[in-house]
Each structure stands twice: as C-alpha cells, then as structure tokens.
Amino acid sequence: MNLAQLETEIFALPIQDRATLAQRLLLSLEEITEPEFDSLWGQESVRRAAEFDAGGVHLNSGEEVAKKVRALLR
C-alpha cells in the first residue's frame, strides 16, 4: 500500500477515528529528535510547495476553513 492509498482509506474514516489517529501520529513524533523533526518538516514544506506550484492543490481561505469547522462542531 502506498501513501496515496493509505490517505484515501484514512479520509474515508469517521471524523472521530481520524482525530484519534491524528493524535496518535502526533504523539509518535515525540520519539524523534528536534533536528530530525526539523528535517522532516523541511521535506514536507518542499513537497507541499512543489504540489502547489504544479497546481495540484486547492487552497482554502481562513474564512472557508472556519466555516467548515463551525459546521462540523454543530
């Protein structure tokens, strides 16, 4: 299974399960050193910038995000 397939399966999960998974993933990052963490975020930043430059992502405004969050919390 590759990352894209895994993401598809994860995003199909109910929101509470995704939140639990996100929390577990974030906690697992505490096991790495600060330089490793910085390196990983640097790599992710480069990947995201390249994806944006290639037109592969849709950006949401802060207002759009806040609206969606409020709808989820209702």
Tell me if 2 sits within 8 A of 10, measured CB to CB.
no
Specify the pTM: 0.46
Whether residues 38 and 73 fall in one domain: yes
Whether residues 27 and 37 fall in one domain: no
Residues 56-71 have pLDDT tens digits of: 888 889 999 999 999 9
Task: Answer with the residue of higher pLDDT: 64 or 1.
Answer: 64
Whether residues 42 and 71 fall in one domain: yes
The share of the chain scoring above pLDDT 90, in percent, equals 61
Report the domain count for the chain.
Answer: 2
Residues 2-60 have pLDDT tens digits of: 888 999 999 999 999 999 999 999 888 888 888 988 999 999 999 999 999 999 888 88
pLDDT at 33: 85
Whether residues 56 and 68 fall in one domain: yes
* C-alpha distance across the termini of the chain, in Å: 35
Q: Find the domain containing 27 and state its range.
A: 1-31
Whether residues 40 and 52 fall in one domain: yes
